[in-house]
Amino acid sequence: MSLFICPVCRKELFEVDKSLKCVNGHSFDKSSAGDVFLLRTSKGIHGDSREMVRARHDFLERGFYAPLRDSLSRLAVECVGEGHVNYLDAGCGTGYYTEGVARALMERGETSVVGIDISKDAVKTSAKRLKTSELATASVYDLPIADNTIDIITNVFSPMAETEFARVMKSGSTLLYVVPASRHLYSMKSVLYENPYENEEGAVEYDGFKLMGSQPVDSSATLSGEELSSLFAMTPYFWTTSKDGAERLSALDSLKVEFSFIIYIYKRI
């Protein structure tokens, strides 16, 4: 039986002939990579494009965000209890963080891994590296997962859908929510914009959750022009930067860039 449920009737899904099917006859074919499309509608929904996914994959594979993945993996192991663990990556992207956390959890004990993302291209990229996980194109605001099922959720730069997260999580389970800290990528923004800004910081209380603490993760690296291009293309700044700003960045041979994150640790109450 799958950890996913039917997005139409909310019944359990079972794997039958490389498809997921429910008792009411709704059927969802798996791709050759093993992922499945579980969005009830794709109208008006736009995830990361194929180009953005490729840029993110290329950049992350160079290891610049490895300190974040390592910290996230360590916290995940510290926060789960004994026994079987159901792990959801809500906004799995290319699967970079999913893979790290899943490996750490599997080393401590039996773990089932599910990942969802609104971008079909991102999910297909994840499926190529996460062979034993269940992956679906789906929305964090309409999770195809049953109530009170999940032991731990990671959410890295994805929307905070607290109502849906609370619904699918067990009492006492953990949500690890990653956001950019104030100085994240500040030197790159100083090139892109005439008036660069710091990101707002501050923990938020959410209904159904208790904030247990936070973990800063800071590092930096000097990036080549090619690496800067990949980083730029995977950020929201790619869509909001003027032509002049983009040209200033592309003219650089290298730039030292700050990577600064905060992992907020929430407990489902």
* 211 and 243 belong to one structural domain: yes
d(C-alpha 236, C-alpha 257), whole Å: 16
Q: How confident is the model at residue 43 (pLDDT cuts 50, 70, 90)?
A: low
Domain around 105: 35-268
Do residue 75 and residue 203 come from a single domain?
A: yes
Instruction: State pTM to two decimals.
Output: 0.95
pLDDT at 45 over 70: no
- 11 with 125, same domain: the answer is no
Enter the tokens of residue 184: 């994240």
pLDDT at residue 238, as a whole number: 92
Q: Which pLDDT value is given to residue 17?
A: 87
Contacts of 205 (CB under 8 A, 6+ apart): 211
Q: What value does the CA radius of gyration of the chain take, rounded to a whole number of Å? A: 19
pLDDT, mean of residues 191-203: 93
* Cα distance between residue 269 and residue 266, in whole Å: 9
List the strands of the sheet with 169-180, edge to edge: 36-37, 134-137, 111-117, 85-90, 150-156, 169-180, 254-268, 209-224
φ, ψ dihedrals at 179, nearest 5°: -130, 160
Check pLDDT > 70 for residue 108: yes
Q: Which residues, other chains included, contact 68 with Cβ-Cβ below 8 Å and sequence gap of 6+?
A: 97, 156, 178, 217, 259, 261, 263
Same domain, residue pair 26 and 58: no
Quote the number of domains for the chain. 2
Whether pLDDT at 121 is above 70: yes
DSSP H helical segments within the chain, as ranges? 50-60, 66-79, 96-108, 120-129, 162-168, 186-192, 225-233, 237-240, 243-250
Residues 54 and 19 in one domain: no
Specify whether 179 is located in the same domain as 196: yes
Pair 180, 205 in one domain = yes
Q: Are residues 3 and 68 in the same domain?
A: no
Same domain, 175 and 48: yes
What is the average pLDDT across 101-116? 97
Q: What is the spatial distance between Cα 13 and Cα 27, in angstroms, rounded to a whole number?
A: 9
Whole-angstrom distance, CA of residue 25 vs CA of residue 251: 56
Placement of tokens 């995940």 in the chain: 76
State the CATH number of the domain containing residue 129: 3.40.50.150
Is the domain of 246 the same as that of 148?
yes
The Cα angle at residue 189 between residues 215 and 228, in degrees rounded to 5:
90
Confidence of residue 24 (pLDDT cuts 50, 70, 90): very high
- pLDDT tens for each residue of 59-75: 999 999 999 999 999 99
CA triplet 137, 169, 26: central angle to 5 degrees?
A: 40
pLDDT band at residue 91, thresholds of 50, 70 and 90? very high
Instruction: With cut-offs at 50, 70 and 90, classify the pLDDT of residue 88.
Output: very high
- Please tell me whether residues 164 and 62 are part of one structural domain: yes
Question: What three-state secondary structure class fits 50?
Answer: helix
Q: Determine contact, residues 135/36, Cβ cutoff 8 Å.
A: yes
Confidence of residue 49 (pLDDT cuts 50, 70, 90): confident
Is the domain of 110 the same as that of 175?
yes
Instruction: Report the pLDDT value the prediction gives residue 42, as an integer from 0 to 100.
Output: 64
